[in-house]
Amino acid sequence: MNADSGDKPPFWRRAGRFIAHEFMEALPAILFFAAGFNLIVFSMNLVLAAYLVRFAGFMVATGAALVVGKAVLVANKLPFLRRFDTQPLIRPILFKTIVYTLLVMAARLIERFIKYWIHAGHAAGFVAYALSKFTWHKFFFIQIWILVLFLIYTTVSEFNALFGQGELYKLLFVRRSTEAKLTRRQRVRTLVHLSRLTGRYTMEEFKDVTSAAHRALVSDIVALVRDKPRAR
């Protein structure tokens, strides 16, 4: 037996880790769209209650959120999704919103196609069925809301990536606005101070642990890591 094979985890464990990783990656989108879709369903049912008509239920909305989560997983694996990541934020936000929305629309159509195939036993008449039996106004109503929700979701995701993972949460729920503004100013000052240090000292001076350059560099780095930047 190969000695390396003993260190390799069994297939079921690797598969479990992969599934758990993929699920956690899709979970934010699933939760966000489950909440969004259920809010839309709830509001529509309130409007239609006077006409004794029901738009949809909790399970339908949650099922749609799962479809969106799968589409997000697929989209995140596409290499061209990152093509505007270095551009102004509006470009990656709009680009990713459009890609996500188109993939969800394709996934919804494929899902309808599979259901038709299972029910009818063939795929030949799907186009005629789609043109004559689909409630396209409802389909595009949902698709428009998917676009709007993806615009919100992508905007929040891009700002979260820009500030750093978890930083947006702190800005919204932990730090006071005045504290956040002060922290940003202090970080800028610290980064400016680091830039000046690199222009003032050589690499050999930074490597010398007894030098003032090394102590100043370590001080600034520790301040950034501890989220307590220099005040001057």
Greatest mean pLDDT among 139-148, 167-176, 190-199 lies in 139-148
Residue 105 lies in a domain: yes
Same domain? For 181 and 164 the reply is no
Same structural domain, 46 and 151: yes
Residues 204 and 134 in one domain: no
Helices (H), 49-89: 58-76
The answer to whether residue 22 scores a pLDDT higher than 60 is yes
Whether 2 maps to a domain, the answer reads no
Whether residue 186 is contained in a domain is answered as: yes
* Domain, as residue range, for 220: 176-225
Residues 113, 93 share a domain:
yes
pLDDT tens-place string over residues 67-119: 888 888 888 888 888 888 888 889 999 999 999 999 888 888 888 888 888 88
Picking from 136, 151, 173, the residue at the C-terminal end of a domain is 173
CA distance 151 to 159: 12
Cα separation, 146 vs 153, in Å, equals 10
Count of structural domains within the chain = 2
Q: Say if residue 42 is in the same domain as residue 95.
A: yes
Would you state the structure tokens that stand for residue 160, as one six-digit string? 């979260």
Task: Indicate whether 218 and 165 sit together in one domain.
Answer: no
